[in-house]
């Protein structure tokens, strides 16, 4: 009887049988360790996260729902952003004039207040043609030394067409300066008077010349 009862098939459910077997194997240390599997999920606005492999699908679904929700947000109307103040705004460096005339005039402006000295061509004192020659030299253009010689360089320009940096010959050909705009001449005038701006009228002009590179 006892032997027969031992051979009788167990009526325990299969799930219980499996648990007993797994427990027995684990108790003996025979079950190898199973490495945890992970997947990297990127959530917008938060970052990347490693999650167990079994959660990869639901987290991806959540990620998709978040993206759809963000895309469905209504656009912000421009009127809610306010308006810029009205007025004229200047951006002098965006369209900077790098012509030789502009560079030369900028150089001459740095010498306002320098003393007049006959025959001097800088860098600390100047006569009229010496200032013009020195200024254009800073722009990479070499001009002759005297006002008479400078009256023949470049191209002639009418008074109404003068631009800053143009050379203007006055005083019967014996004086030269640089047109500074607004009806003014930047020049080394005479002994005892420093480099300065003086008024320029059409009747004072013998010739005006525009210097190109």
- Say which DSSP state 52 is in: E
Same domain, 118 and 201: yes
Same domain, 106 and 44: no
What pTM was computed for the model?
0.56
Range of the domain at 50: 36-66
How do residues 157-210 score in pLDDT, each as one tens digit? 999 999 999 999 999 999 999 999 999 999 999 988 999 999 999 999 999 999
Whether cis (ω within 30° of 0) applies to the bond prior to 141 is no
Same domain, 120 and 168: yes
In which residue are the tokens 């809610």 written?
A: 80
Same domain, 132 and 48: no
CA-CA distance, 154 to 76, in Å (whole number)?
58
Which tokens go with 183? 């009806």
């Amino acid at each position: 009887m006892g032997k027969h009862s031992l051979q009788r098939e167990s009526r325990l459910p299969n799930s219980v049988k499996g648990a007993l077997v797994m427990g027995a194997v684990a108790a003996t240390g025979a079950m190898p360790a199973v490495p945890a599997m992970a997947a990297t999920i990127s959530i917008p606005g938060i970052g990347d996260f490693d999650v167990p492999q079994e959660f990869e699908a639901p987290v991806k679904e959540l990620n998709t729902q978040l993206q759809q929700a963000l895309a469905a947000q209504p656009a912000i109307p421009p009127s809610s952003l306010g308006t810029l103040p009205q007025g004229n705004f200047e951006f002098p460096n965006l369209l900077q004039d790098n012509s030789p005339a502009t560079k030369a005039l900028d150089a001459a402006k740095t010498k306002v207040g320098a003393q007049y000295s006959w025959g001097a061509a800088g860098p600390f004192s100047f006569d009229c043609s010496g200032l013009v020659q020195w200024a254009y030299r800073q722009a990479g253009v070499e001009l002759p030394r005297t006002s008479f010689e400078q009256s023949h360089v470049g191209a002639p320009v009418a008074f109404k067409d003068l631009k800053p940096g143009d050379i203007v010959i006055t005083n019967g050909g014996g004086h030269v300066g640089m047109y500074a705009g607004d009806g003014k001449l930047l020049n080394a005038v005479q002994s005892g008077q420093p480099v300065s701006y003086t008024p320029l009228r059409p009747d004072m002009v013998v010739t005006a010349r525009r210097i190109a590179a």
